Amino acid sequence: MSGPRAEEPAVTGSATGPVLEVKDLHVQIATRRGVVHAVDGVSIEVPRGEAVGLVGESGSGKSMTLRAILGVLPGEAKITSGQVLLDGTDLVPLPSSSLNRIRGPKLAMIFQEPMSALNPVMRVGWQIAEGPMVHLGFSRAKAAERAVELMRRVGIPDPERRFRAFPHEFSGGMRQRVMIAIALACDPEVILCDEPTTALDVTIQDQILRLLARLCRESGVSLVFVTHDLPVVAQLCQHLAVMYGGQIVERGPVHDVFARPQHPYTLGLLRSAPDVEEIRDSLVPIPGSPPSLISPPSGCRFHPRCQFAEDDCQTTVPPLRLLAGGRATACLHHERCDEVLEAEGATR
């Protein structure tokens, strides 16, 4: 996003610059119908202690990117090129035994469905305590103590008692708090969140987001937050990257992107989402459907659905160009977005 920053709070050491950096990541899935380019040249920088939102519709490669970062891709998917740098160490070529020392103590993940991501027959306290026991060499008693402390920190009432409960005895929001406690258990530097609030209702969603934001502030952990819910990003993240068809089409500081999107897809996303603050005449859906990732459209992948598409969009693959203010867009005609926004401002 914004490169090395000078005003970083010194939380996890003296190192400045992004804690996690994904460089030109490609993930391919071999299927019977052909090779799916699920992630196609994605680059992300995650500054220390900040949250990066990764937004896009279903099948745009968000979750694949997360799983590739963590090295837990499904069997058929493979990283074909690119780097995942955590504190400068490339994780891609590491064998799983070395990765197992990084997953947990440095990188953790929170899943979308807290019920299925918790072991149904293991007491939640021990699920939280397992990480410290395995990675930090804690004794059972010490790990249990740590688990209770974590449960208190994520706002589970009466943690000593709830330690011995099973996941099915918790509500959805409490389960997600347990997931967060598990992710925090070994004090990771980055937590990858795969739509952690999608399965929750709105009030609980808000509580979980506030909790994540607070933890982010308190412990200096960085977040990569995958979602298709734009208001969630606005609430939690400092940076935003928009994915379309396995590529990043726009990125930048979250409020700048929301105020002045520089890619027609981002513009379309913003207009297709309802907004409480501002009552629009109508929600404008993006016409068409997401591109095939086996044989993607030529040129810009968005051009068949784009209102600004011109002839060159069909032939030229648009690079992700840097703009002022730490922003970047992959649209050849991004000025058109400004024109539309100005025209709208004039009519209102």
Residues that bind another protein (CB under 8 A): 70, 72, 99-105, 108-109, 111, 113, 116-122, 130-131, 134-135, 140-141, 144-145, 148, 158, 160-166, 168-169, 179, 182
Please answer whether residues 196 and 111 qualify as being in contact, where contact means their C-beta atoms are separated by less than 8 angstroms.
yes
Distance of CA 11 to the CA centre of its chain: 21
At 44, give phi and psi (nearest 5°).
Answer: -135, 145
Residue 122 neighbours by CB under 8 Å, 6+ apart: 166
Least gap, CB of 245 to another protein (angstroms): 25
Residue placing its CB nearer to another protein in the complex, 113 or 256: 113
Residue placing its CB nearer to another protein in the complex, 222 or 329: 222
Residue placing its CB nearer to another protein in the complex, 104 or 173: 104
Supply 53's token pair: 């939102």
Hey, is 28 helix, strand or coil?
A: strand
Least gap, CB of 216 to another protein (angstroms): 19
| Whole-angstrom distance, CA of residue 59 vs CA of residue 128 | 31
How many CB atoms neighbour CB 279 within 10 A?
A: 7
Hey, is 92 helix, strand or coil?
A: coil
Least gap, CB of 186 to another protein (angstroms): 8
Residue placing its CB nearer to another protein in the complex, 147 or 232: 147
Residue placing its CB nearer to another protein in the complex, 25 or 309: 25
| Whole-angstrom distance, CA of residue 115 vs CA of residue 47 | 31
| Whole-angstrom distance, CA of residue 63 vs CA of residue 200 | 18
| Whole-angstrom distance, CA of residue 95 vs CA of residue 48 | 26
| Whole-angstrom distance, CA of residue 221 vs CA of residue 108 | 10
| Whole-angstrom distance, CA of residue 341 vs CA of residue 337 | 6
Least gap, CB of 34 to another protein (angstroms): 24
Supply 256's token pair: 């700048």
Which stretch of DSSP H or E encloses residue 125? helix 124-135
Question: How close are the terminal C-alpha atoms of the chain, in Å?
Answer: 33
Residue placing its CB nearer to another protein in the complex, 103 or 327: 103
Among 259, 265, 251, 192, smallest CA distance to 222 is for 192
Output the CA–CA distances (angstroms, integers) from residue 214 to 4, 11, 42, 217, 223, in the order listed.
23, 15, 28, 5, 12
Residue placing its CB nearer to another protein in the complex, 100 or 219: 100
Bridge partners of 18, per DSSP, are: 47
| Whole-angstrom distance, CA of residue 331 vs CA of residue 267 | 12
Residue placing its CB nearer to another protein in the complex, 139 or 307: 139
Residue placing its CB nearer to another protein in the complex, 226 or 337: 226
| Whole-angstrom distance, CA of residue 343 vs CA of residue 201 | 37
